[in-house]
Structure 1
Amino acid sequence: MPNTALRVYIRNTALERIGQVDDYTSLTVVPRYNAIGSFVLEVSADSDKAGLLVEGNGLIIRTADGTLVDSGPIRTVDWSRSKDDSGEGKLTVGGVSDTEVLTRYTCWPAPASAIGSQADTVYKISGAVAETAMRTLVNANAGPGALASRKSPLLTLATNGGRGPTITRQLNQFDSLFAVLQDIANAAGLGFRVVQVGTGLQFQVYAPTDRSGTARFAFSLGNLTDANYSTTPPTCTRAIVVAGGQSSPRSCKTYDRADPLFPGLVLEQFVDLTSVDTASVDLAAQMDQAAEEALTAGAGKGSLAISPIDIPLLQYGRDYQVGDTVSAKVRTAWMTDVVREVTLTCTASEGTTVKAAVGTSDGDGTVARIYQYIAQVKRDVGRLKTRKAA
């Protein structure tokens, strides 16, 4: 295979390497930022490794220089053969990234207690650093600190770096652990993932790296083959937060965030905190946090898809990763935003190609910079029309 080909290793259920697939015909792997990645591998059913490609085993995918792209369990193995095929046909192997393990768990109100002793209806995070709160949730519901019946035996936690702002929020009983981690991480500007380390899985929280000064993509630089951008309008510009009303008086407050592309548009959304006692000393912080998350999730979005070319001075895996901030030239302006996902496609004849999706798909407290740029273009066009009319 070409020197740029991705390296694929097979692991067993104990996460031990048991072979390498060096004769695959095609591979597509999509690592994602704060989301579940995926991979699809095609290989001849005659391959001597075909017997190892079974559900329950997994793949470890690395670049040619050994950098980890992604790893995770095999979920599907499909066999097909047509009348024109020679040999035993082909296998199409699909799987997901190891971060998927977090989707299997919920947040218990009292994670240290058995299911029959869940008297509380909420789990409260009060004045904790975002990374610490995320680690505590994973540890108590799925990691080493979880009940024996819930513990994921291969899951450990990386060292706490104390990253992110202090947060205060209340979780409803049995909220999805993965969804809660996404909400906290996206609002705090952090990344999280589960990756294979040795023969174990490790939950990691990290602060994305700003590489916008060095990872720059443009047609004029010769490292871009195509680019396109798109926008999605907002779904919430006014959060109506209501707390209490059950065992305590109601407290209602509105929070507004104007959209730059639709400055006069008001879209109200109810944010339910009625399970929060309005006598709580941190009521204001909880309401502020809930409003921030609703406005962030409902903000207008801009996304940019680019097809970069690896050149000696700038290569995926070595010079930028999923989650890093990069720069790309859109028309006449440079956009700076986060790499949300990367699609790496490798074939036996062409080696590896890369397509990156840049932009804020889940929001970062403000709309994506590209979205703001389009709003500015719209205003500029409006001024030109006004001048012509005058």
Structure 2
Amino acid sequence: MEGSKIPSGDGEEGWSSSMPNRRLTGANMASIISNAVVDFSLGVYKLSAVGGENLFMSPSSVYAVMAMIQAGAGAATLEQMTAALKLTGHNRKTQLQLLKEFNTAMMAGSRDVILTTANKLYPNADRKVVEEYIKVLSESFKSEITPMAFSTKPEECRKEINDWVEKQTNKKIKDVLPDGSITSQTGMVVVNAIYFKGEWADKFEPRSTTKTDFHPSASSKVQVDMMKERMDYAKYGESKEMKCKVLQLPYQGKEIGMVLFLPHEVEGLSKLEQALTREHLEKILAESKSETVDVYLPKFKMETQLTLKETLQKLGMVDLFNMAKADLSGIGEQLFVSEVYHKAFVAVDENGTEAAAATAAIMLLGCMIPNRVMEFKADHPFMFMIWDYRIRVPLFIGRVIQP
């Protein structure tokens, strides 16, 4: 777009021009972006965890996509996105440093489990994209850029994007973009895909798995395949404030683990979810101790597909979805976001966990030695996270109402 550019930061409209670009150490940057992603993740999850249904999602994937769009936003659109992404108080240069730090950590992978993530920008081949925006996405987000013939071949483009996502997620996420989501008016699609597969550090013995009652509610029960294992050095805790038990089950290498939150009451999950904050989470994780724990965990598999426009609007990103108000001039002319699609998959068994997710935003024109045995019996609805201990963020969050 001739003459347009991404706001440079200091003194530019829409950015916190009064805020100095403070020098941040690596540790400070890691802490700031970790806090931002956790706060955003819990916000998205709470708005999505409604009703009595299972849920699984990757707020980190959603954050990555919205961060890529925020990099080209301006005016009120930028301010709203910055606030929702929990980056208010930092100028443009610092924000990009923080987002680059997060993206680099996400893409670093792991030696002991399979963890991959990828970003991709699909602009309309008929429309000019601001060169500086392309540079930012390439440098800060390591995003590939592939122009697409949305104007003439929308369905073929939709299939090509879905094929890319399916490949990135080991064929676990199919058709993240549903029928009709791409039209000749599509100006751009921004995508993040994440895939995880890890084996438990202490595996469950398959012969110990038995049919056991699981109580979706106080008045109902179903039979599930319940895994059982005595784990000698599991991180275990109880929160009186949250009225729940907490168990951390590490995967091989112990850089990533599953954190389970089991309410004391059969129907206590909703209260727990809505009350949980980053501060509670940090306290719970820090205060968990190595214990010998008899762990009972149901095998489960689920797939969730979400549209997140309404959720993101409730978090404050209002103008972004309004054709008349959206300012994405740092990306290209007359763009706004029509919808954000998210799809996630998880399978948990005796060996470990396999999980994948993809997010696509479509823009339109216009230890102590244990001496006791604790019990963690997940026989009623619980919440869980696949937690990256290195960057202290949840890669995935879910709830099991009925395995």
TM over 0.5: no
More helix by share: 2
Larger relative contact order, structure 1 or 2 (CA cutoff 8 Å, min sep 6): 2
Q: TM-score, normalised by structure 1?
A: 0.21
